[in-house]
Amino acid sequence: MDILDAIILGIIQGLTEFLPVSSSGHLEIAKAILGDDSLPKDSLLFTVILHFATALSTIVIFRKDIGIILKGLFQFKWNEELQFSLKIILSMLPATFIGLFYEEELEKLFGGNVLFVGAMLIITAMLLLLADLSKRTLKNVSFSNALVIGISQAIAMLPGISRSGATISTSVMLGNDKSKAARFSFLMVVPLILGKVAKDILGGEISIASANFTPLLIGFLAAFISGLFACNLMIKLVRKSKLKYFSIYCAVVGTIAIAFSLLN
């Protein structure tokens, strides 16, 4: 993998992790278009590095909220902080279950299946459009909402289904405040990403012995910086009900991906 590929993939990951357009779907499409034979060999390590970079950007932006979550967990008082912490944990359960018991089946879908990715992007477009049409409320995420949002996050493990798009759309369609929906969506994924990184490293699935660290570092920085930008932008866009534009984008990219797959 050369430096240019690392920059492109890092920016794609940073932008699409937060913008509701599916980071995994875009990475699969990018890999198929770039056609770099060295990419599959470094794919897992590079993907882990990029996800860690976007998790770090989330931690930086939501550092105060994360402090509140940790405070709630260690206070052991039935207050708003502890309840929010428990909702985050509850939302993680469906994706954790899928990751632990169906990881191999899931990874089979990440093999450059551009046709599948295109179809999932069309579904993401429909979700975003429905969310954009939802009425504005000031409702907080409830415990039952957290579980349903968690299920949508588990479904979004499919390449082409936007994680932020699915979770924010589900939360908004459940009647929750749009800003709070975005905040909850971004915070609920941080423990999962860090857990996945730790699992891959400790489980010996990632080998760094022959890794080229220059593209990894460049990709990490590109994903981290673009992630900071995209996360802040997404919060503002959700608040202003601008999801329909992303719906159109996903529909267009999904259609192009399907056409690309059928013509190749």
Each residue of 140-175: pLDDT tens digit? 899 999 999 999 999 999 989 999 999 999 999 999
What ranges in 35-177 are assigned the alpha helix state H? Answer: 39-61, 63-75, 80-101, 103-107, 114-132, 143-155, 163-173
Buried/exposed code over 209-218 (b: 16+ C-beta within 10 A; e: otherwise): eeeeeebbeb
Q: Which residue has the higher pLDDT, 255 or 112?
A: 255
What's the CA gap between 162 and 14, in Å, rounded? 13
Q: Which residue has the higher pLDDT, 5 or 230?
A: 230
200 sits in which H/E element: helix 178-202
Q: What is the mean pLDDT of residues 35-48?
A: 60
Report the percentage of the chain scoring pLDDT > 70: 92
Looking at 37-51, 76-90, 146-160, 205-219, which range is the least confident one?
37-51
Q: Tell me if 63 sits within 8 A of 186, measured CB to CB.
A: no
Q: What is the mean pLDDT of residues 178-185?
A: 89
Give residue 76's identity as a one-letter amino acid code.
F
Q: Which residue has the higher pLDDT, 193 or 169?
A: 169
Q: Per-residue pLDDT tens for 196-238?
A: 778 777 776 665 655 677 888 999 999 999 999 999 998 888 8
239 sits in which H/E element: helix 213-239
How far is Cα of residue 259 from the mean position of the Cα atoms in its chain? 25
Predicted pLDDT at 219: 92
Confidence of residue 24 (pLDDT cuts 50, 70, 90): confident
Residue whose tokens read 């550092």: 63
Q: With 60 as the cut, is the pLDDT of residue 135 above it?
A: yes
Q: With 70 as the cut, is the pLDDT of residue 41 above it?
A: no
Domain boundaries, the chain: 3-263
Q: What is the signed CA dihedral for 199, 204, 208, 209, rounded to 10 degrees?
A: 170
- Average pLDDT across the chain, whole number: 85
Predicted pLDDT at 40: 45
Q: Residue 219: CB partners within 8 Å, gap ≥ 6?
A: 6, 7, 9, 10, 13, 46, 49, 50, 53
Q: With 70 as the cut, is the pLDDT of residue 1 above it?
A: no
Predicted pLDDT at 38: 42
